[in-house]
Structure 1
Amino acid sequence: MLTLKKDRKIHIDKNYVILSLVWLGLLILFQLVGIYGEKWYVIFETQSFLYYHTFLEFFTIVIYFAIFIITYYTYSKNRRARLIIMFCTFFIVGFIDFFHTMTYSGMPGFFTEASIPIATTYWMIGRLIFAMGLLGAALVPVHKEVIHNRLYYVLGSIGIIFFIFYLVSYHINIFPAMFIEGQGLTALKIALEYVVMALLGIAILVFLKDYRNTKNVIFIQMAVGLSFGFFSEASFTLYSNVHDSYNMVGHIYKVISSYFVFRAIFIKNLDSPYIKLSCATEKIKKYAENLEKLVQERTKALEDANEKIIKDLQYARRIQQSLLPPKTLNLGNVTFASEFIPCQNVSGDFYDIYEIDDENIGIYIADVAGHGPSAAMMTIFTERVVAHKNNNFVKNEMLSCQKTLLHLYNEFNKSNFPVEMHIAILNGIYNKTTGVFSYCSAGMNTAPILIRSSGKMEMLDKSQGFPICKLGGVFVPEYLEAQIQLKAGDRIIFYTDGLIGNFSSNTFFREETLEEILHRNNSNSAVELRKDINREIRSIAKTKFIDDDITFVIMDVSDNY
């Protein structure tokens, strides 16, 4: 059975293709020159050749010094070792090419007479330094950094320039002949050109290796530039007259070579960072737009979630308030008037008034640590434990404030409430027949105020017990019950510390203010007293923030049952 394998796509790097086409074109052109060389061979008129030669040479000299400036100043930013070799190379070669141009046959000379030997020697030295410098730069790892003072390298380069200038200009005889008029290039000159070509060829391969590792197209451009330089040197192995067409073609290739090298170095060191910055700016702009859109979406989601939470809290508030007794309640000879003001949607304060039997009325007021939903859930727990009969808590035990609080303490410790939560509660029982009011406190930091029919006030502070908290495993509290005889016309106000607390700086009401209100409403009903207290709360709330739940219950006793 034959299995046909799915064809794999072969990825061809277009940059290698471009470089290959450049080499193919240069080889074809070089071959055509070899075939039709005699037909196309021209010896230019001296002045005409000098004009073009000077223009082309100065073009490359300007480019070399531009490369020097770019690499010299870029080195101070990124400290790459390659840049040291490059700025030294182009600085030296720029001056040597200048000397070569000024001493070329037919030129006025530069500190010495122009001559073919001097110009050719300058040329060969410049080409060797150029090829060795670029190969040396290519062999240094791309990202290798060094911390050297660049000025020393410039001074060293200046020394080399003066040394070469002195030797070539004033001691040309120590150098072997490179060109002999009437004969053409010497074997040494041709051999040295081949050495330069070999050095450039190796440099091309090293830059291609850098491209393979980094995929940075700049190294392809360097390879293209050096390829033109390679064929430029090949052209200089063919001329037989310093003013002929082979020499001119070599200089044209040299200009093209210098342009591509400049382009690669310029993009690498100057243009590329700005391109990256532009791309980064564009990305940041897109990210900002996406971020703005995302923020809007998240804001909408938060608004929706917040709206749902608010609705849920409003529902919780209604449920909590539905568990509270009516604000005005008449149970036989006792009238109750209450007020419940949460500082948030749901409150940590709660109270209840309930009939235990025909003779006894139960009442409690409590304050849970904290506010909000968690505290509100505690109110439901307390209401179910204290005010409702069940199999484990019989009616006779409900008639004891002391047993009721101990039962609440034990049930609380059986629950899974967090250890940081606790309940401060005051539980009371009023017997309508005897007029006795029994009460027991579990950590409540406010004491009810008894206002006799005569106007005399008493604090019901004879019972102070341990709060309901998660210490059942290490501590069993003892709750002491206190009693007070009530008569017709007597009044008790129960309240949480949101109204008046132990510390005057943290209370909403001043104690004197409450006493004043109680005195002036001594002959008024519980409902009227509640209205007066509420008016005072609203007045103070205009200038003072309500930061705690406020709850109070007024109990009025009329004729005995």
Structure 2
Amino acid sequence: MMKSQLTEGKFLVYSTMAIVLLLGIHLFQEQINTFYNPNNYVGFHTLLESFSISTSSAIMLYGLKNYGKSGSSQMLLLSFTFLVVGTLDMLHTLTFKGMPFFLTESSVAKATWFWVSARAIQAVLILAILVLPNWKLKKDYRFPMYLLAFLMIGAIGTVVFTFEKSLPLLVIEGKGTTLLKNGIEYFVCFVQFLALIFTLYKYHMERSETKLAIALALFFLLLTSLIFTIYRSVFDLDNFTGHIFKAIGFYYILKGFYFKKGEFERAEMEHQKLINDLPGFIFKAAKKGNQFVFTYGAGELLQQLHIEKDELIGRPLKEVFAANPTIIHEYCQLALNLQDKTVFEMEHLDKTLLISIKPVFEEFEQEVVIGSVIEMTGFYQEPAMKGRNKKRSKFAVM
């Protein structure tokens, strides 16, 4: 697990250093240009963009894996966002002026249109990820979302490659960016500024290092968009600086989600310890064929029932509760049929067990039950229960 070391002090220092660096480059641009060689820029541009594309891939895969376990709408949108952004950045890199022939001749116009498309989509969707509620999705939406992503990429690519010469100019080489290009970049800045303010507010409320890292990423990406309104050539020092700031911003997005991963892991460890120390036993089982099979189980009662947790997964419930194999199966099926909770008692290994079973529907499994087992041995002989004349019910449907 990556150890987080980002603090509020470091956030302020890094932000200040970025602004000072930007001002320094402008103040001493003439001196820097004496040893800055634009002929090397295509190679450096490819390296910087390759880092951003690799980072997008890592974030996309992180979101995909997390969504597979959690069904989180936030993780699905995160994965979708960086699939689109990473692919558009790749097209931007491949069509950059000076790169080898890719479908058509490389040009400033194509590369710039791919750039502004990626930045606009990135800004809007990151704001959506931060602001929208994190729903737990009941169905697997990966295929339609990824289909939509490739359709979006295909549509943008088709328009840019086919109508390059008909599209409005965004950059006039040697003169600088056009009013349209600046307007798009200022829109991106505005959206990123909103995302930054929201993220800092969430950090103030939660004190989460995830939020602090993402806020720092948004700060660098905001500066990136501002830089890309002032360059005069796609090979000049400002353009180079902008790509460096963008790479740093992507790094902190990735780092932010690794902070989040660390927080999830710590919470998961605490949660697992709590479950393992439960005086009872909880389980989850999926129907496979004509039997219910354990997919999860934990609790202190497992040891008393002589059940090894590591050997539980994949075993049929009938096999584990061999003393009453028919009863456990029937009540699991009853819970599914009634779409309601069933509660019953069962004798097993000289113990009286109170078992509760409830149906649950998940995105990848259609027939699943979850259950809890509590030992009730001797419960009705306890002083508090004596003299109540309570009739013991062998089972109930609730």
Normalization by structure 1: what TM-score? 0.45
**Equivalent residue in structure 1 for 2:135, among 144, 148, 151:** 144
- What is the RMSD of the two structures over their aligned residues, measured on CA atoms? 2.6
SS in structure 2 at match of 1:255: helix
Q: CA 1:202/1:112 → structure 2, altered by over 3 Å: closer, same or farther?
A: same
Letter in structure 2 aligned against 1:63: T
Deviation at residue 100 of structure 1 after TM alignment: 0.4
CA contact (8 A) 2:209 2:259 kept: no
**Equivalent residue in structure 2 for 1:258, among 239, 247, 250:** 250
CA contact (8 A) 1:218 1:267 kept: yes
Other-structure match for 1:217: 209
CA contact (8 A) 2:89 2:115 kept: yes
Q: CA 1:197/1:184 → structure 2, altered by over 3 Å: closer, same or farther?
A: same
Listed as ranges, the gaps of 5+ residues in structure 1 are 1-13, 287-419, 421-561
Other-structure match for 2:70: 78
CA contact (8 A) 2:95 2:105 kept: yes
Query: Residues of 2 paired with 1:272 and 1:174: CA distance?
Result: 49
Query: Residues of 2 paired with 1:187 and 1:36: CA distance?
Result: 27
**Equivalent residue in structure 1 for 2:119, among 127, 148, 154:** 127
SS in structure 2 at match of 1:172: coil
Aligned residues: 273
Query: Residues of 1 paired with 2:128 and 2:26: CA distance?
Result: 32
SS in structure 1 at match of 2:28: helix
Other-structure match for 2:295: none
CA contact (8 A) 2:38 2:236 kept: no
Deviation at residue 260 of structure 1 after TM alignment: 0.6
Other-structure match for 2:313: none
Query: Residues of 2 paired with 1:30 and 1:282: CA distance?
Result: 49
Equivalent runs, 1:344-363 vs 2, <5 Å: none
Letter in structure 2 aligned against 1:109: F
CA contact (8 A) 1:45 1:243 kept: no
Q: CA 1:279/1:147 → structure 2, altered by over 3 Å: closer, same or farther?
A: closer
Q: CA 1:32/1:261 → structure 2, altered by over 3 Å: closer, same or farther?
A: same
Deviation at residue 182 of structure 1 after TM alignment: 2.8
Query: Residues of 1 paired with 2:36 and 2:110: CA distance?
Result: 21
Q: CA 1:249/1:279 → structure 2, altered by over 3 Å: closer, same or farther?
A: farther
Letter in structure 2 aligned against 1:263: K
CA contact (8 A) 1:46 1:243 kept: yes
Instruction: Answer with 1 or 2: which has the greater Rg.
Output: 1
Normalization by structure 2: what TM-score? 0.63
Other-structure match for 1:274: 265
Q: CA 1:213/1:65 → structure 2, altered by over 3 Å: closer, same or farther?
A: same
Equivalent runs, 1:138-177 vs 2, <5 Å: 138-141=130-133, 143-148=134-139, 149-177=141-169
Query: Residues of 2 paired with 1:173 and 1:247: CA distance?
Result: 23
Query: Residues of 1 paired with 2:34 and 2:166: CA distance?
Result: 33
Deviation at residue 271 of structure 1 after TM alignment: 3.6
Other-structure match for 1:189: 181
Listed as ranges, the gaps of 5+ residues in structure 2 are 1-5, 278-386, 388-398
**Equivalent residue in structure 2 for 1:26, among 7, 18, 28:** 18
Query: Residues of 2 paired with 1:175 and 1:123: CA distance?
Result: 14
Q: Deviations over 1:24-83 (max 9, x none)?
A: 222222222333233334695455211111011011101101111110221122222222
Query: Residues of 1 paired with 2:73 and 2:276: CA distance?
Result: 35
SS in structure 1 at match of 2:165: helix
Other-structure match for 1:67: 59
Query: Residues of 1 paired with 2:276 and 2:144: CA distance?
Result: 44
Equivalent runs, 1:242-321 vs 2, <5 Å: 242-268=234-260, 270-277=261-268
Letter in structure 2 aligned against 1:74: N
Other-structure match for 1:99: 91
CA contact (8 A) 1:93 1:129 kept: yes
Q: CA 1:284/1:138 → structure 2, altered by over 3 Å: closer, same or farther?
A: closer
Other-structure match for 2:230: 238
Query: Residues of 2 paired with 1:285 and 1:152: CA distance?
Result: 38
More helix by share: 2
Question: In percent, how many aligned pairs have the same letter?
Answer: 26
Query: Residues of 1 paired with 2:210 and 2:8: CA distance?
Result: 12
Deviation at residue 222 of structure 1 after TM alignment: 0.4
Letter in structure 1 aligned against 2:213: Q
Q: Deviations over 1:530-556 (max 9, x none)?
A: xxxxxxxxxxxxxxxxxxxxxxxxxxx
Letter in structure 2 aligned against 1:38: E
Query: Residues of 2 paired with 1:29 and 1:235: CA distance?
Result: 12
CA contact (8 A) 1:44 1:243 kept: no
SS in structure 2 at match of 1:145: coil
CA contact (8 A) 1:81 1:145 kept: yes
Deviation at residue 279 of structure 1 after TM alignment: 6.2
Deviation at residue 277 of structure 1 after TM alignment: 4.5
Query: Residues of 2 paired with 1:205 and 1:80: CA distance?
Result: 24
Q: CA 1:210/1:42 → structure 2, altered by over 3 Å: closer, same or farther?
A: farther
Deviation at residue 166 of structure 1 after TM alignment: 0.4
Query: Residues of 1 paired with 2:263 and 2:79: CA distance?
Result: 19
Other-structure match for 1:35: 27
Q: Deviations over 1:299-336 (max 9, x none)?
A: xxxxxxxxxxxxxxxxxxxxxxxxxxxxxxxxxxxxxx
